[in-house]
Structure 1
Amino acid sequence: MLLYPSNKNIIALAAICLSALMFGLEISSVPVILPTLEKILHGNLKDMQWIMNAYTIASTTVLMAVGTLADRFGRRRIFIISLALFGITSLICGLAQSSTILIISRFLQGVGAGAMLICQIAILSYQFKEGKERSKAFGAWGIVFGIGLGFGPIIGGMIMAVSNWHWVFLVHVPLTILTLLFVLGSIQESSDPQAKKLDIIGIVTLSCTVFGLAYFITQGPELGFTSIAAISILIATVSCFIIFLFAEKLSPHPMFHFSVFRIRNFSGALFGSVGMNFSFWPFMIYLPIYFQSGLGYSTVAAGLSLLAYTLPTLVFPPLAERLSLRYQPGIVIPSGLFMIGTGFILMKFGSGMDHASWLTMLPGSLLAGIGLGLTNTPVTNTTTGSVPSTRAGMASGIDTSARLISLAINIAVMGFILQESILSYLKRVLPGTDDVTQLRALAEKIAAGNTSLHQNFPELTSLDASGTVVHTALVNGFGWVMLYGGIGVWVLAAISFIIFAPKKSLLQK
């Protein structure tokens, strides 16, 4: 049966939206099952961090490279390859029997996911005519992408309730097959004969910088921050970043053209990208641990509790667009960031109450979600709309890279703060335990959500028979993480506002 162009476009849009849904789900559904993975795979907090970070770092690694490869060799072809890689690695993730295998397969899954993301945007831009048709296509893509991110926690929780953790990954196998069938029957091939050369040095050095920094923060406590190994990693990371800066400055076809940072609106919006991923999205990794281990909720109940955190991100973008037109992004973006920070401070107070529950966390969760909903769309539109059209693709790539790099680094930082604050609390309230190595192992277990530790640490039976110390240590640790998230975003909101503000208006004030 022959398909008319309009029918082909509908199927093409369905393929793009399905792949966007899968990308979003793999970010937001996996955190809900991390406490389960920690127990079943006998992992620790670092393993759980790497299960998430492997995906985000890999996605960041391929973003800029795939855009060039897709332009040169064909966007449809690269999209099919990325889908196949994503489906195969999702199968391996679902069958993994150890944390190590899961981390490696998550990295490869992230490569496929990052490639999918870039191809989605390129295909939509080519397949749909400029104007209403393209606007509607991008609108549908954005909504489905948001659904994947927003409903991921409850979808992950429900899959756990009716089956097991394996299907949080395995569900993508049939979805990938369906998407591939749609792609083969609808998407047109497109390429750019004038495609620029691949910036290999820039890609490798930026990827090594992000990985090195995340590794230093995550493994630092175990290695010892002043150890030769840790210092060597830090020196290598800084060296890679310096080489990256020189490579981009000297390259005739750089990934990042630093001249765009001189544009106030671009730089101000970029701080919005960093701000959203400084606290809101990395905390998605840890919030399920708080709901399940701190409050004792089931996986489904934790997923439902997370809806207050994620759903506002879907509801408020249309309002954000109207506000941007009326008050300018320079007001809306910093205001949204300030709301995210305020939400985190409210969550800190809610988590510290005597009878803490999802209700005491509700005001902060809602406010943080509303803040992100007000920030996300204006940031995307401002970064791409404030540069010349010839550099819109680069601006979009820098924006996406800033988000994923901030996410990867702050997953590591939040885990470090959580573990160290728990360790600090245990040292204060368990003076009878002098073995710091043992206390650190205990703190790591608590941070990963394992509060039933009396068998592994018999001394706790006499010191903390009721488990109060362990529970309080976990809540105390989360309080510090929320404080970090709140104050950090406030600082970024202030920087964004200052950058957006014209020099003249600042001098007049």
Structure 2
Amino acid sequence: MKQKFYSGKNNIVLIAICLATLMFSLEISSVPVILPTLEKVLNANLKDMQWIMNIYTIGCTTVLMAAGTLADRYGRKRILIITLILFGISSLICGLAQNVTLLVISRFFQGISGGAMLICQVATLSHQFQEGKERSRAFSIWGIILGVGLGFGPIIGGAIIAILSWQWVFLIHVPIAILAIMLVYGYVDESKDADAKKIDIWGMITLSIAVFGLTYFITQGPDLGFTSPIALGILAITLISFVLFIWIEKTNPYPMFDFSVFKIRNFSGAIFGSVGMNFSFWPFIIYLPIYFQSYLNYDVVAVGLSLLAYTLPTLIIPPFAEYLSVRFRSGIVIPLGLFVIGLGFIAMKYGCSTEHASWISMLPGCLLAGIGLGLTNTPVTNTTTGSVSANRSGMASGIDMSARLITLSINIALMGYILVKGIFSYLNNAFSGVVDTKTLHTIAEKVAAGNFSTLKQDFPQLNTLDFSESILHAALAHGFEMVLLYGGIGVWILAVLSFILFNTGNHKAVRN
């Protein structure tokens, strides 16, 4: 009877954790679908949309490594409840925001609470489910829900905005958070670690400043001027912060990052897999809705459905990836997955440049990219934790997640910069000497955000030129071709580096 009671109690705990997981993953994959709408209703530009997405990942990165220590020291249940409360409040503010500034600020706090919430979920599951079979089942279900949130997020976001409004993409988390708080409070057992390490506060601060500084430099550089005193000052602060971070981690007795693990080739090869996934696949999901909505003129629901080809394979392929890892080892599967992602990006490049581009022309590339991500994700997670000793698995997992989020933040900014530059180069060739460079750059930013309708109103001089919407669409397509080329070639380079690290030198192959 006691065993049955605990089994029933743990099922409720699992429901609570899965609700928290669903909220976290939906905030990554459902928000990109509403960005074109936010651009219109909040008078946002491309940089604003980049920050709406980027600040969430920066917030996650800020607390990621400290959250585990906080949970161990002050109680995993207590910290999980606090993070759920903060996530619910910040989601409420996001939904009520009437301007971009408030939305970006609230998204930052949503990211902080979401990152801490994610770490607490894993810690809570590890403590609550300790028996082998039940533990395996719990983590499998948790992983499935995480995949469902990421995979179906685009269509869920599209459906919400079609039925209700964009605000409910954020507000929906408020009742979910309240329910999760009640279940966690009533059913989760409190647990602490008497030997919990001190929080590496200075490592956390210096890393956050470095990531934020580089992202800000890339995003705002075109406006500030990359060689202006302000921009160079930001870059200097970024570099100093990063050097300080490395020094702190090497001298701190309780570091967030133990750099000695990078001497393990399997670990380093897997980290290149982490970087590769977030170099191209996840940052591009921010911009793909702009292509579908602004270039192909799809409505929000059609955009969400079109994105399923990009995200669903990430949910379906992982079991096959695990089989391949056992059969051929991760040192083959991870570089293969990265190569397939790159192949998908090159296929999408040709798909968006065809004369009659549509979701069908983009379908092969989207599927390939999703399959590549599915092949890479699980082997990377298993290898980063499996290539180090058990007492360092938490730290290894934290480095893996940090590598993903940092790369994601930087490449959201880089892809936006490349998109604008690609559009600008096309317009500059078409109207060189007729429209000044500054005006063309401003137009390029508006086109990149999908804002075609007000261009001739904002720039009356265009009315005297042959500045048709077809030219703007061609410029947008050219920009996307540049982004896809960057993503494809970049992830291929990372695939080669990963393969070299895995398959040279004497090391023990990790089998998942």
TM range (shorter): over 0.9
Q: 1:395 deviation in Å? A: 0.3
> Alignment length, in residue pairs?
504
1:48-96, Cα deviation, whole Å (9 max, x unpaired)? 0000011000001100111111100000000000000000000000000
1:139-191, Cα deviation, whole Å (9 max, x unpaired)? 00000001000000000000111111000000000111111111111111001
**Secondary structure, in 3 states, of the residue corresponding to 2:468?**
coil
Out of 478, 501, 504, the position equivalent to 2:503 is 501
**Secondary structure, in 3 states, of the residue corresponding to 1:503?**
coil
Residue matched to 2:510: none
Q: What aligned pairs does 1:73-92 form with structure 2 within 5 A after superposition?
A: 73-92=74-93
Q: Which moved more, 1:126-135 or 1:346-355?
A: 126-135
Residue matched to 2:64: 63
Q: Which runs of 5+ in 1 are unaligned?
A: none
1:421-445, Cα deviation, whole Å (9 max, x unpaired)? 1111111101253422221111111
Q: 1:463 deviation in Å? A: 2.3
Residue matched to 2:457: 455
Is 1:230 aligned with 2:234?
no
Q: 1:461 deviation in Å? A: 2.9
Preserved CA contact (<8 Å) 1:272 1:375:
yes
Is 1:105 aligned with 2:106?
yes
Residue matched to 1:247: 248
Partners of 1:193 and 1:416 in 2: how far apart?
47
Partners of 1:212 and 1:24 in 2: how far apart?
25
Q: What aligned pairs does 1:32-181 form with structure 2 within 5 A after superposition?
A: 32-181=33-182
**TM-score, normalised via structure 2 length:** 0.97
Q: 1:201 deviation in Å? A: 1.0
**Secondary structure, in 3 states, of the residue corresponding to 1:4?**
helix
Partners of 1:352 and 1:474 in 2: how far apart?
10
Q: CA RMSD in A?
A: 1.2
Q: Which moved more, 1:373-382 or 1:127-136?
A: 127-136
Tell me which amino acid in the other structure corresponds to 1:205: T
1:220-271, Cα deviation, whole Å (9 max, x unpaired)? 0000000000000001000000000000000000000111101111100010
Partners of 1:71 and 1:427 in 2: how far apart?
56
Partners of 2:341 and 2:262 in 1: how far apart?
25
Tell me which amino acid in the other structure corresponds to 1:202: G
Q: 1:7 deviation in Å? A: 1.2
Q: 1:334 deviation in Å? A: 0.1
Residue matched to 2:257: 256
Preserved CA contact (<8 Å) 1:433 1:439:
no
Task: Give runs of ≥4 in structure 1 deviating > 3 Å.
Answer: none
Q: 1:8 deviation in Å? A: 1.1
Partners of 1:426 and 1:258 in 2: how far apart?
46
Partners of 1:354 and 1:118 in 2: how far apart?
47
Partners of 1:217 and 1:80 in 2: how far apart?
36
Residue matched to 1:425: 426
Q: 1:131 deviation in Å? A: 1.3
Partners of 2:407 and 2:284 in 1: how far apart?
12
Partners of 1:130 and 1:268 in 2: how far apart?
31
Tell me which amino acid in the other structure corresponds to 1:195: A
Tell me which amino acid in the other structure corresponds to 2:284: F
Partners of 1:144 and 1:433 in 2: how far apart?
54
Q: Share of identical aligned residues, percent?
A: 66
**Secondary structure, in 3 states, of the residue corresponding to 1:455?**
helix
Q: 1:465 deviation in Å? A: 4.8
Q: What aligned pairs does 1:104-503 form with structure 2 within 5 A after superposition?
A: 104-452=105-453, 453-503=455-505
Q: Which runs of 5+ in 2 are unaligned?
A: 508-512
Q: 1:504 deviation in Å? A: 6.1
Residue matched to 1:6: 7
1:345-394, Cα deviation, whole Å (9 max, x unpaired)? 00000000000000000000000000000110000000000000010000
Partners of 2:144 and 2:163 in 1: how far apart?
27
